[in-house]
Amino acid sequence: GSAYDPLLYEFVGDVKNDQLVEIERMNALLVTLSDDPRANLKPGLTDAGVAIKNMTLVASLPKPDGFVDPNNPGEISKGEVDASTDETGAEDKKASPIEGGSRKRSPLLSFSNTDMAFSGDTLVAGSYHGFNVYNLGENGVPDLLSSVVCPGGQGDVSIVGDLLIMSAQETRGRLDCGLQGVADDVSAERFRGIRIFDISNLEAPVQVGAVQTCRGSHTHSVVSGPGEDGKIIVYNSGTSSIREREEMESCFDDSPGDPRTALFRIDVIEIPVDDPASARIVHSPTVFADEASGALAGLWRGGDHGDDTQETRATDECHDITVFPSKQIAAGACSGNGILFDISDPLDPKRIDAVSDPGFAYWHSATFNNDGTKILFTDEWGGGGRARCRAFDPLDWGADAIYDIENGKLEYRSHFKMPAPQREFENCVAHNGSIIPVPGRDIFVQAWYQGGISVIDFTDSENPFEIAYFDRGPIDEEELVTGGFWSTYWYGNRIYGTEIIRGLDVLALQASEYISDNEIAAAGLADFDGVFNPQQQFPVSWPDHPVVALALLDQLARHNPASAKLVQEATNALKELGDAFESNEVSSRDVRKIVRMADKIAGLDAGGSASRAMIAVANRLR
């Protein structure tokens, strides 16, 4: 009723603002009391404070020309109307909370860096403004080859052979990649969906296909192909508003009871490699339907889970679907639920299991471990643009949730959240990451927006822990600017991070009490076929190499201190091989010694994997 009484409305608003300001003041105090080096870092666009642990910053690249506003590189809001002035321009002494958002005008253009894809020595970094193509040179440092301006938002990318697939969702996007946008409510010039580029010439990509969808493309997943039929299958996840039917006839809105609605679906897209211009949607399955009744809204209907629980979005879309083709399964992070899919028929995915979490606001992304027996889901509480790592924010909200897959069911094991408290002007929540392929362990590197980069070990699903991090101070000391790391991925023994505002960072892990030089080197030997797409996972393998066996021996010594003497003997035996291993000039006596040590290691608790790796090395030398 206060809305009908202007004085009461103003009073209630003032009370709410005062409470928020006081909460922010208390959070600032709590942050200063934290002993975590990431807390309370110096703000700055290019000169922010830095906290780094067990990592090395190899290189930092600014955004390329054309992908940054030279007059406003930090994308700070501007305008005459500000929270510190009233409508007459007079100064208003009342403080306003940062959480409420700035009343200044946001920049008209968005140059946000987004997702990445890799193939061979090529890195493609997506952007709301298009994409940039880099060659990975010496030490993994990117060198810019070309830039393609093609606004439309999202910019999530995947590489399949000579084709680049890119997601676009914003209503301003144009079919021709033009800068002028689209003003009309209905227009044949508007583009929202999957763009396809020919990148056979990396210095001159060309758009060769475009698939329009009802809700745009927020993300996509390369599921299979090209097979013998020369076709690629892609799952598309649209999360935006539904188009007008006048613009795309097959798009039906959310009218209650209409089974034709574009909600509650994903799109299955077929791309012929030889004719990408004919790419099309071949199926839009209702993957959330109730199996008994057939009702489309068969999963979480929205709302909270009871007292002191999160308000969780209804399940009418998937944000990410990560496929694991070798096991014919996929993990869907689908707004209100985490879902395990059967993709044995890529054209018709089926739901196997679904879970909910009382602390999740929005199921955002999913990552399998290397053997496809676990899934790490993320919760994007606040949508990525809010401060959700404050000192008082729950550690199971805006966090990771780790599930084991047992007999086709998702079994909850634990949560993990980046532990350093952040200020109100640092947007922070769980975001995109990837597995670091250390044999014998489940290690994950992850972006937390302005919360930085965190590397965790979740080998023990119930007890994940942090082993390394990198963080910068906030972009601005007064305004919450959506910035920080969008994605961080391991590739070629380097960690690449797209920093939304600042550019592109390259980092490397350092040996520490949590990870050895041998383990890092073994990760660098992993065979991943030279391709990485964000929502497509293949299990990596390792060669029969002494470094791999040494990495597993390091793990054995770490977890079984009583075995230290025997492990050291085995380690010495492997190190004695030295350069002779590569030239295959090892004596039969040395081979027999490795086998004898492997037999002894096998008798230790948890020594099986190290023993098998040693035997594999010996067999290679016979």
Q: Per-residue pLDDT for 114 more than 60?
A: yes
Phi, psi angles (nearest 5°) of residue 9: -60, -45
Mean pLDDT of 228-249: 96
pLDDT at 11: 65
Mean pLDDT of 414-437: 97
β strands within 359-425, DSSP E: 363-368, 374-379, 400-406, 409-416
> Which range has the worst mean pLDDT, 151-155, 446-450, 454-458, 618-622?
618-622
pLDDT at 41: 96
pLDDT at 108: 61
In whole angstroms, give the CA distance from residue 443 to residue 168. 31
Q: Per-residue pLDDT for 389 more than 70?
A: yes
Q: What confidence tens digit (pLDDT) does each residue in 314-330 have?
A: 999 999 999 999 999 99
Residue 91: band (very low, low, confident or very high) from pLDDT cuts 50, 70, 90: very low
Average confidence score pLDDT of the chain? 92
Asked if 186 contacts 244 with a C-beta cutoff of 8 angstroms, the reply is: yes
Mean pLDDT of 381-409: 97
pLDDT at 622: 80
Q: Give per-residue burial for 96-114: e unless 16+ CB within 10 Å, then b.
A: bbbbeebeeeeeeebbbbb
Angle at 428 between CA 141 and CA 16, to 5 degrees: 155
Residues present in the chain in total: 622
Residue 109: band (very low, low, confident or very high) from pLDDT cuts 50, 70, 90: confident
pLDDT at 537: 98
Mean pLDDT of 412-419: 99
Q: Per-residue pLDDT for 81 more than 70?
A: no
pLDDT at 603: 87
pLDDT at 110: 87
Q: Which residue has the higher pLDDT, 97 or 6?
A: 6
Q: What confidence tens digit (pLDDT) does each residue in 488-523 have?
A: 999 999 999 999 999 999 999 999 999 999 999 999
Q: What is the 3-state secondary structure (H, E, C) of 535-589?
A: CECCCCECCCCHHHHHHHHHHHHHHCHHHHHHHHHHHHHHHCCCHHHHHCCCCHH
pLDDT at 621: 86
Q: Give 449's contacts (C-beta < 8 A, 6+ positions apart).
A: 384, 426, 427, 428, 429, 431, 482, 483, 484, 485, 486, 500
Q: Per-residue pLDDT for 94 more than 80?
A: no
**Residue 323, amino acid:** V
In whole angstroms, give the CA distance from residue 377 to residue 318. 13
Distances (CA, A) of 618 to 185, 603, 605, 613: 69, 18, 22, 9
Gyration radius of the chain over CA positions:
26
Residue 87: band (very low, low, confident or very high) from pLDDT cuts 50, 70, 90: very low
Asked if 163 contacts 220 with a C-beta cutoff of 8 angstroms, the reply is: no
Does residue 474 have a cis bond before it (omega within 30 degrees)?
no
Mean pLDDT of 467-472: 99
Mean pLDDT of 417-441: 97
β-sheet bridge partners, residue 117: 124
pLDDT at 27: 78
Phi, psi angles (nearest 5°) of residue 83: -65, -15
Q: What confidence tens digit (pLDDT) does each residue in 256-305 have?
A: 778 999 999 999 999 999 999 999 999 999 999 999 999 999 999 999 99
Angle at 145 between CA 139 and CA 148, to 5 degrees: 135
Q: What confidence tens digit (pLDDT) does each residue in 2-23 have?
A: 556 676 666 666 667 767 777 7
pLDDT at 554: 96
Total Cβ atoms within 10 A of residue 37: 15
**Residue 206, amino acid:** V
pLDDT at 610: 95
pLDDT at 605: 75
In whole angstroms, give the CA distance from residue 577 to residue 583. 10
DSSP letter (8 states) at residue 41? P
Q: What confidence tens digit (pLDDT) does each residue in 444-458 have?
A: 999 999 999 999 999
Q: Give 417's contacts (C-beta < 8 A, 6+ positions apart).
A: 389, 395, 396, 397, 398, 399, 400, 430
Q: What confidence tens digit (pLDDT) does each residue in 547-602 have?
A: 999 999 999 999 988 889 999 999 999 998 877 787 777 888 889 999 999 999 99
Q: Give 511's contacts (C-beta < 8 A, 6+ positions apart).
A: 54, 517, 520
Structure tokens of 1? 């009723």
